[in-house]
Structure 1
Amino acid sequence: MKKVFIVLSGLTTLCPLVAEEIQPDTLRNIQLEEVVISATRAKQTTPISFSDIPEDVIKKNNFGRDIPYIIALTPSVTITSDAGTGIGYTAFRVRGTDVNRINVTINGIPYNDPESHGAFFVDLPDFASSLSSMQIQRGVGTSTNGAAAFGASVNMQTDNIDTEPYAEIGSSVGSFNTVKTSIKAGSGLIGNHFVVDGRYSVVNSDGYIDRAWVDMQSYHLSLAYSADQTLVKFLTFGGKEKTYQAWNGVDLDLVQRDPLNYTRHYNDLGRYIDDDGKVQFYDNQTDNYTQTHYQLHLTQEFSPNLYLNAALHYTAGEGFYEEYKTDRKYTEYLLTPPVIDGVPLKKTDLIRQKWLDNDFYGATFALHYQKSSWNVVFGGAGSNFEGDHFGKIRWVRIPNNFDPDKDWYRNTSKKTDVNTYLKANVEIARNFWMYGDVQFRYIKYTMKGTDDKYDEETGAMRDITQEHTFPFFNPKVGFTYRANANNSVYASFSVAHREPNRDNYTEAGPNEKPTDEKLYDTEIGYRYQSPSFSFESNVYYMKYKDQLILTGKISEIGEMLTTNIPNSYRMGWELTSAIRFNPLLRWDGNLTLSRNKIKNFTEEDINVYDVEGNWLESRSTYLGTTDIAYSPNVIANSMLTFTYNRFEAVLHSNYVSRQYIDNTSCKDRSIDPYFVNNLRLGYTFSLPHTKSVTAGLEINNLFNVEYETNGYNSETYYVDDKRVNKKRYFPQAGTNILANLTVNF
């Protein structure tokens, strides 16, 4: 028998448990699978700040909401949901850094979109049901594959091999007509070598925001072959989503001025005036996307000290969003205006579709060597991305022989990303480890063709043809000292680089030239663990050169826009702790106190108009040191857990301080602080012919708090020296519930 620790909410819980007896063959299979992710994961002797979320915690918190709502239990994390419920389009930030700057991998395979750098969990609904663990590394972290980690990295591992046959049926129902149904099954070991596992899920919800419904499906299928020293595993997983657009947010100033006609969940997307002069909402104002992943992993043990992990991967994505646009110029869509009574019309209503058709493929490898005081990994990856962007006009209110199959614009993108790394963790003296990590990364990115913006000067769609290359060298060094079984300290210094994403180039102003950014990350921490108490304290200083900082503006599809800022930093103090009061009661908590600043900031190019609406000038204002947008100074989580036999109750309390929605530190353009409580109840029992039955209830926003988690400036300008700000916010649902029932056979 051996003792193990369960990790909860990024903390090691305080009661050692006796593990079940594991057969040698099964143990070997598990060890081989762990090699798949060990190349990119941190260990207790790695000198960085990280949190592990194991399978049991994922399962307990998986009621159907997206991955960010499970990550939200860990330090320095804020989350947001377009629909206000955590289902559909969701996102998270770590240390104020948005998901476009957070590295996300699945089994060591890059998941971030190579162009936008985003990680869209809406494309993998109910993916949590196929996860065995997650690790969140804060800061630069260890070298990994794919997008740069400029605030954090998230590593997800899918289900491990289960050598026993099983079946699982789960369903969640709740507020806003939310229904999630999933079916899982596994063959167990077949012929001593093969295992097949599969899952299929359906998620539907109306959403809190008007018409923000979702209709999503996903699957996960794996086939594994294991022998004494070899593991081969093929996986395919994917999702299909259709969601009503809710990425514009809500004009809360309008709600305040006219509460009889507008509410906190009012959604103006799809709004138009019909031929009778009545307000209507287009019923297919939707986002539609299908994403399919294929992964083939090989893990080979050459000796007890030497392993190889290699993988091939391919991801296919295709979809479009459709929208009703009002009062649009014919010329900006390359349409010929009709002539009425000898006068050509200038504007019309139309329905358009903007398409993506992407292919992403590549390979990864990692060679592991471990013996006595040495732990060395040599690895890397290479990938290619090919993407088509094109638009179609499907309907025009007053047409003139237009062709609905003709492209209104089309461009192609190609991106090659190659990296290699060598990292070693060496015990250079008793209980004293030195960590070294060097990575070289090379990116080549090209765009060719026209995009969706009309160029008045040329009378054609704008040409965005361009090419960029980036060679990056990213070194890391650190030390860990373990004084005894309970106490350890660590320190590290890391350098990271990140290239601009597609929007940085296509949304740049006429005088903007986006460039890569550089990060110097210093982390110093202390850890204490015992059977009744654990504590970790970490201080960090992240100094940026040319950081691509969120501006508070969004693109027309809701993507947050950024611009280079020469000099900025993030510094903070992260605390995590857990106390076991008695066998029934435990408390887990984490707290982040931070400063996130831009030095010598100038707000540039704000238009000034007179009272008649005539443009006067473009104004720039020097503001000195200001707060970085979307970066709260305080983030706190408290989790109070009561356990009695097979019953568990958890009260989760979350506080987030004020966040500014631009970089001016103006309170009028900010998200108010919020304090929200959620209650989760769970009870496990058994019935005849079942292994277990788990019933759960989640009551979110227990005290019905009105709060918002995100926002932006749709417009900002001066009229007669008075600042006008047209702001949008993303309100979250009031008290709402989700109940689930999971039966295991």
Structure 2
Amino acid sequence: MKNLLSAFIAMLLPFVAAAQFSVSGKVIDQQTGQPLPGATLVLKSLQLAPSTVTNGTGNYQFSNIKAGSYVLTVSYIGYQTAQKAFNLNGNLTVNLQIANATTQVEEVTVSATRASANSPTAFTNLRRKDIQKNNLGQDLPFLLNQTPSVVTTSDAGAGVGYTGIRIRGSDGTRTNVTINGIPYNDAESQGSFYVNLPDFASSVDNIQIQRGVGTSTNGAGAFGASINIQTTTRRDSAYAELNNAAGSYGTVKNTVQLGTGLLGGKFTFDGRLSRISSDGYIDMASSNLQSYFLSGAYYGKTNVIRANVFAGHERTYQAWNGIPDYVIGNKAYADSIGENPRRYNELGIMPNGDRYRNQVDDYTQKHYQLLYDQTISRSLSFSGALHYTRGYGYYEEYQDNDDLAGTYGIKPVTIGGVKITNTNLVRRRWLDNNFYGVTYSLKYRTDDKFNFILGGAYNKYDGDHIGNVLYTEQSAGILPNYEYYRNNGKKNDFNIFGRAEYKVGDVLLYGDLQYRRVNYNIQGIENKMQLINNRATFNFFNPKVGFTYLIDDHNNVYASFAVGNREPNRNDYTDRAAGQPEPKSENLKDFEVGYRINQSNFSGSINGFYMLYKNQLVLTGQLNDVGTQIRTNVKDSYRAGIEAEGRVRITRQLSWGANATVSTNKVKNFTQALDNYNADFEKIDPVVQTLAKSNLAFSPSFIAGSELSFAPVKNGSIALLSKYVSKQYLDNTSNTNPQGITTSPDVANNPYAVNRYLKSYFVNDLRLNYNFSVKGVKNIGVTLLVNNLFSKKYEANGATYPDVEAGHIINYNYFFPQAPRNFLASVNLRF
């Protein structure tokens, strides 16, 4: 009988081994017994390590798990990491109680600007490991390229130097960026210049991207999205990392990171030093970048004090004009200049054909942050921050045969009987600015049913804009460093908000009220020699309401309505043509509705949005003389669409993440006035075009991303990253010519000049990664990233300057070609 029973058990063993079970349970606070939504769990075995997060009630589940030995790890910001080992041979319930860390959470610092796990808004969270897997030297926007509704651009064509990001068709000036809850957008231009902080991603712990108006935040209002960045947080063990990368177009990245770990249970110190250099794909579009990041923290039982000092210096050759269409589209012309037409850069070319080597943007930005978190009681906590940003630098430019009187206010001089009115010269345009302020939030949480945050900020900006003439080829009778303009901008930005979440049964109610007051003053002489004296005060009320219905532990639906208001930026005042009215502030009403699912093998969401704008400042398709996009108010416009994203673990080795956005982006009754010239090139009455409904510029109707990842061996992976972006119009006319005006026949040999749009593109990247260790080195990571695997020719950005000449429309288009197949390879050593 004993032998028969043994044989029977032996026969069952293969079936037991092949069976699949579930592991589920709940994660709670050890002290209060309250559930912890959003806690991360990883189920590790020799073959796989699936992960999930707890839902709004603190529950989790892993499904379709094979029998075997596992270690379950749970982590939650502000709590001690916990592990539990077990053998799985049937469905198992594992409840976990985790204790508060002996120190205060640093999450409080950024929680005021972030959506919680069940907030009724569209957001994507990226962990450090998600960011670092592609961090081989390209700017931060390129590391966010696989998130929903995102389009990235690169002036130099290879992702190093000046790069841009558009989310839901909204450009970077309309995306609010915060670092540890502190505004990063430039107070005047409202842009976020990631080139000023090269390799900043190496010091980032996590990022949340919110789409739409999102939650209340500090700094410029979010009119398409917000990007909330949290930098390095506590690491208990000492570490050292060396990261070196190299690749196409002379790209080299060197990064050193060091950390002490927790000293005496109280202190940590972290540091990073980086440099990146690249020749760029576009001719002369070189970048020489340096940065550092230093952080020190004190951890008490109920408080944390952290000081961050970080800075970056960039020196990039100017490539902000793009490539003229007559170079890309006209082979004969391209052959005549003897260069690859897709790499041609017209900036800095002197009459003799040589390059002016100092045609550069040279800028330094230094940041100082003092962050304080305090637990007052079990229910009440406070977070505050002081910050100061110092920026200074210049654009240096060679100008061919420039007008001395009209551009620089220099009276013509007569030398040898010849009156000097024009000459070749070199000028510098200086920026010198200070930005400082305070942010704060008071967080009250009684239990898992009620959460309230009272927060706000007060920030001040003071910036000088100065222009000098350094050199004139012919004497103009001026002293060295002749100053031809100077003006000053001052901006005060105050906001206060209250945000509450209240759970009633299975419904989470959400409310957010923000008041924001902005005072902006520009005075002096601008770079076109015009007198500017603009004073403006804006008072904005931004309410938000919504709810989330928790269907069960893994599914919920939500809906929200939010109002956003936003002031014009500096360029909206200074770039407007003479006689045009002053720019107006914008208003946005954002409706969002969505569904989320979160299971062990599959997570995903679908979100519908309708963004209704009043007086939106839309891109005209033109650039000013330093490559900044010019904007104009349109009375009525909207963006409506559906976003979907998901990730599925198909097998132990194979997973797939994908996202897609389908949208319609329209402006109503758009009017465009085109300069009109007769056959003698004399200016006559403008041609006015009005369209009942047309497409918003740079707003593709379909965006999709995919990451197919395969792990054929332990610690090794292969990933195919794909991106599709549909056609984008360069202006707001949907490529429609005015009635009775046709395209000039002179452009027959230049197809790029016929249309005012960017063609759709589908680009694939390949990433290979392998990690191993040797004696004395904890981890050696080797990564190869092949960008644009199939060498697709495409342009991700552009500009257009149409006019009417002799009864025909002429499109003067410029494009920003992106690099064909290129690679980056890195070796990362962690000690």
TM-score range, shorter chain: over 0.9
Counterpart code for 1:679: L
Question: What is the distance in 2 between the residues matched to 1:377 and 1:551?
Answer: 39
| CA-CA distance at 1:15 after TM superposition | 6.8
Of 760, 766, 774, the residue aligned with 1:673 is 760
Structure 1, residues 179-229: CA drift from partner, whole Å, max 9, x if none? 000000011122221111000000000000001010000000001001100
Q: What SS class does the counterpart of residue 28 from structure 1 fall into?
A: coil
Asked whether the 8 Å contact 1:541–1:569 carries over to 2, the reply is yes
SS state at 1:140 partner: coil
Give the equivalent residue in structure 1 for 2:359. 285
Residues of 2 paired with 1:30 and 1:577: CA distance?
35
- Tell me whether 74-83 or 659-668 shows the greater mean CA deviation: 659-668
**Aligned residue number for residue 593 of structure 1:** 662
Aligned residue number for residue 380 of structure 2? 306
Residue 325 of structure 1 is matched in structure 2 by: 399
Counterpart AA for 1:19: T
TM-superposed deviation, 1:434: 0.3
Preserved contact between residue 294 and residue 314 of structure 1 (Cα < 8 Å): yes
Question: One-letter code of the match for 2:585?
Answer: D
Once residues 27 and 244 of structure 1 are traced to their aligned partners in structure 2, the CA distance between those partners, rounded to angstroms, is: 50
2:346 alignment counterpart: 268
* Inter-partner Cα distance in structure 1 for 2:683 and 2:523: 35
Instruction: Answer whether contact 1:11 1:52 (CA < 8 A) is retained.
Output: no
CA contact (8 A) 1:30 1:161 kept: no
Deviations 1:220-256 (A, max 9, x none): 0001001100100000001001000000100133233
Q: Which residue of 1 aligns with 2:739?
A: none
Contact 1:323/1:352 (CA < 8 Å) preserved in 2? yes
Alpha-carbon deviation of 1:638? 1.0
For the 8 Å contact 1:179–1:203, the answer to whether it is kept is yes
Pair 1:722-2:808 in alignment: yes
The answer on whether the counterparts of 1:29 and 1:231 sit within 8 Å (CA) in structure 2 is: no
Q: Is the 8 A contact 1:200 1:219 kept in 2?
A: yes
Partner of 2:281: 208
**Is contact 1:11-1:578 (8 Å) kept?**
no
Which secondary structure state, in structure 2, belongs to the residue aligned with residue 79 of structure 1?
Answer: strand
Residue 146 of structure 2: SS of its match in structure 1?
coil
Q: Which residue of 2 aligns with 1:334?
A: 409
AA of the residue aligned to 1:268: E
Task: Give 1:413 deviation, angstroms.
Answer: 0.8
Does the aligned pair in 1 maintain the 2:296–2:307 contact within 8 Å?
Answer: yes
| Distance across 2 between alignment mates of 1:374 and 1:670 | 50
Judge conservation of contact 1:206–1:214 (CA < 8 Å) in 2: yes
Q: Is the 8 A contact 1:4 1:18 kept in 2?
A: no
Listed one character per residue, the Cα deviations across residues 338-360 of structure 1 (whole Å, up to 9, x for unaligned) are 31343412110100000000000
Residue 405 of structure 1: how far off its partner (Å): 2.9
For 1:46 and 1:382, the matched residues in 2 are separated by 26
**Deviation per CA, 1:1-58, whole angstroms, max 9, x where unpaired?**
967258x9x9989979832784699962676111111111111210000000101111
- With the length of structure 2 as denominator, give the TM-score of the two structures: 0.86
SS at match of 2:793: coil
Provide structure 2 residue ranges, at least 5 long, that are not aligned to the other structure: 1-25, 28-38, 43-48, 55-60, 64-70, 83-97, 737-754
Runs of 5+ unmatched residues, structure 1: 454-460
1:351 equivalent in structure 2:
426
AA matched with 1:707: Y
The residue type paired with residue 728 of structure 1 is Y
**Is residue 509 of structure 2 the alignment partner of residue 473 of structure 1?**
no
Partner of residue 384, structure 1: 460
1:610 counterpart = 2:678: yes
- Provide the rounded CA distance (Å) in 2 between the counterparts of 1:341 and 1:301: 79
Residue by residue over 1:458-516, the C-alpha shift from the partner in whole angstroms, topping out at 9 and shown as x without a partner, is xxx21111210000000000000111011100000000000000000001122222010
Partner of 2:18: none
Q: Within 2, Cα distance between the matches of 1:615 and 1:579?
A: 61
**What is the alpha-carbon distance in structure 1 between the residues aligned to residue 362 and residue 410 of structure 2?**
25
The AA in structure 2 aligned to 1:444 is N
Q: State whether residues 699 and 738 of structure 1, in contact with CA within 8 Å, keep that contact through their aligned partners in structure 2.
A: yes
Match of 2:562 among 494, 498, 507: 494
Matched, 1:579 2:615: no
Q: Would the aligned equivalents of 2:242 and 2:828 in 1 still touch at CA under 8 Å?
A: yes
Does the CA contact (< 8 Å) of 2:40 and 2:53 recur in 1?
A: no
Question: Whole-Å Cα distance in 2 between the matches of residues 415 and 28 of structure 1?
Answer: 41
Could you say which residue in structure 2 is the equivalent of 1:94?
167
Worse overlay, 578-587 or 332-341: 332-341
Distance (Å, rounded) in 1 between the aligned partners of 2:99 and 2:300: 11
Does 1:708 find its partner at 2:708?
no
Counterpart CA distance in 2 for 1:11 and 1:202 is 36
User: Where does structure 1 differ by over 3 angstroms across 4 or more consecutive aligned residues?
Assistant: 10-17, 20-27
Match of residue 421, structure 1, among 497, 504, 507: 497
The worse-fitting range, judged by mean Cα deviation, of 11-20 and 181-190 is 11-20
1:629-675: CA deviation from partner (whole Å, max 9, x where unpaired): 00000000011011231001110110000000000001710000000
Specify the code of the residue in structure 1 equivalent to 2:378.
P
- Computed over aligned residues only, the root mean square deviation of the Cα atoms, in angstroms, reads 1.9
CA distance in 2, matches of 1:18, 1:30: 24
Query: Is the 1:374–1:426 contact (alpha carbons within 8 Å) kept by the matching residues of 2?
Result: yes
Q: Is the 8 A contact 2:40 2:52 kept in 1?
A: no
Q: Secondary structure at the match of 1:280?
A: coil
SS in 2 for 1:259: helix
| Counterpart among 585, 594, 598 of residue 529 in structure 1 | 598
Number of residue pairs aligned between Structure 1 and Structure 2: 729
In 1, Cα distance between equivalents of 2:74 and 2:270:
22
TM-score when normalising by structure 1: 0.96
Deviations 1:565-619 (A, max 9, x none): 0000000000111221111001110000000000111212x11112221112111
Hey, what's the Cα distance between the residues in 2 that align with 1:445 and 1:202? 36
